[in-house]
Amino acid sequence: MTTSTLNTYYCAFCAAVAKFANKTFTNILNVTEAIGTARAAAALSQMGYHDLAKDLMLQGTESVAARKALKNV
């Protein structure tokens, strides 16, 4: 193996690892955001603010859909 071939192989490997790490971090961020939104909506609902809780949960689904639409552009 030449140095050039070795360099190309490791650069491709690093790019694949970076892509995987970025995707994993993004998924973790989305899940924790959804959990936080659900907990906030549950607390609002327990306090009797059912309309605000509903709006909060619907706003969360719209923002996720908007992010997915931006990814596809």
Q: Is residue 14 part of a domain?
A: no
| Residue 68 belongs to a domain | yes
| Number of domains, the chain | 1
Answer yes or no: is 48 within a domain: yes
pLDDT of amino acid 12 = 79
Give the pLDDT confidence score for residue 59 in this predicted structure: 85
pLDDT 10s per residue in the chain (73 long)? 565 666 666 677 888 888 999 999 999 998 998 899 899 999 999 999 999 988 888 886 666 666 666 666 5
Please report whether residue 31 resides in a domain.
yes
Q: Is residue 49 part of a domain?
A: yes
Domain membership flag for residue 5: no
pLDDT at position 2: 60
pTM of the model: 0.63
For residue 50, what are the contacts with CB-CB under 8 A and spacing of at least 6?
44
Containing domain of residue 65, as a range?
19-72
- Would residue 42 count as lying in a domain? yes
φ and ψ of 2, to 5 deg: -85, 170
